[in-house]
Homo-oligomer: A and B are copies of this chain.
C-alpha cells in the first residue's frame, strides 16, 4: 500500500506526497524507509526516519515527509499493521501430527507433534502449532490460531478468529469438592463445557475451567492476558478486557465492556455490571455486585472513596497531634476552674 491508499483505508487526511510505498509499521525511533509510525500527541514527535506518520487532527507542524491526520493515530496504526502483516498462510500438515480418523480437520497448518482427538471439527485457515493438544469432540472455528503446547480438553467449543497463546489450558476440571467429614473431600462432578466465542484472545499459560455441570463462556471480542485463571461456570461478556494474573472464582458473571486490571481476585457468584472498571490488585468479595464506574482496593470500593480513605489514613498522624493539643487545652481549662 502506498501512503495515499493508507490515508483512504483509515479515513484520514493526507498532508504531503502519497506515492511512497509502506511495507511495515514501526516505532518512531527505529523507523526506516518504508515504515509508517504514529504519534498520539504533537509533543511526542522526536527525530524519525519513518516514511510517513499518523498524527492527531490538530497536528500542524511542517515535516519533510507525508503525515496522515486521523482522530485516533494509535487505532489507525493498529489497523494498518493488521493490513500490512496478515496472518501467514502455512499450508502444511506435519507428518508427525496424530489426528483421529473421525476428526474433521480443514486447518491450514498443523504443526509437529500436534494431537487431535475423536470427532473434533477444525475449521478453515486454522493454525494449530507444535505440541498443541486438542481433545475429543472439540469444535474450532475458522481462522483461529492455537499456539504451541496449548491444551484444549474434550468437548470445548472455540469460535472463529480466536488466538490461544502458548501453554493456555482450556477446559480443565473446575475446583469443586464436598467435604465428607473426617475422611476428606469427594470431587464434585466437573462435566460441563467451555464455550469461547469469536475474536477472543487468551494469553500464555492462562486457564479456563469447564463448567461443573453447565458451561463456562467468553463473549465475542474479549481479551484475556497471560496467567489469568477463570473458574468453572464463569460467564464473561463481550469486549471484556482482563489483565494478567487475575483470578475469577466460580459462577461469577462479568458483563460486556468491563475492564479488569491485573492481579484482581474475584470471589464466587459475584456480578460485575456492564461498564465497570476494576483496578489492579483489587478484591471482589463473593456475591458482590459491582456497578458501572471505577473501583479499587480490597474489598473494592469506588475509586473516589478509596482515595479519600487513603488520604484519611495518611492524615492520622495529624489527627493524633490535634487530639493531643486538645487534651492539653482541656487540662488547662480544667485547672483554671
Interface set of A (CB-CB < 8 Å, partner B):
25-27, 29-30, 72, 74-75, 77-79, 81-82, 85, 94, 96, 98, 111-113, 115, 129-131, 133, 147-149, 151, 153, 163, 165-167, 169, 172-173, 175, 177-180, 184-189, 191, 199, 201, 203-205, 207, 209, 213-214, 220-221, 223, 225-227, 229, 231, 238-239, 241, 243-245, 247, 249, 262-263, 265, 267, 280-281, 283, 298, 308-309, 312-317, 319-320, 322-323, 326-327, 329-330, 333-334, 336-337
Contacts and interface: CB of A to CB of B under 8 A. Distances in A.
Q: Which 3 A-B pairs have the closest CB atoms?
A: A81-B189, A184-B221, A151-B166
A330 B333 contact: yes
B330 A327 contact: no
Given A98-B113, A131-B151, A147-B172, 17 more contacts: A29-B214, A75-B178, A78-B186, A82-B189, A112-B113, A113-B113, A115-B130, A133-B148, A165-B169, A175-B226, A227-B247, A229-B244, A245-B265, A263-B263, A265-B281, A330-B333, A333-B334
Nearest to A37: B213
Nearest to A329: B330
A89 to B, nearest CB: 15
B320 A323 contact: no
6 contacts: A74-B178, A78-B188, A133-B166, A153-B166, A184-B221, A247-B262
Given A226-B172, A312-B313, A78 B334 contact: no
B74 A188 contact: yes
Q: How many copies does the complex hold?
A: 3
Contact of A27 (B26, B167, B213, B329): B213
A239 B175 CA distance: 14
A316 B312 contact: yes
A333 B225 CA distance: 62
Contacts of A131: 113, 115, 131, 133, 149, 151
A239 B184 CA distance: 6
A135 B113 CA distance: 14
A280 B147 CA distance: 32
Contact of A226 (B207, B308, B329): B207
B149 A191 contact: no
Contacts of A225: 175, 229
Nearest to A264: B263
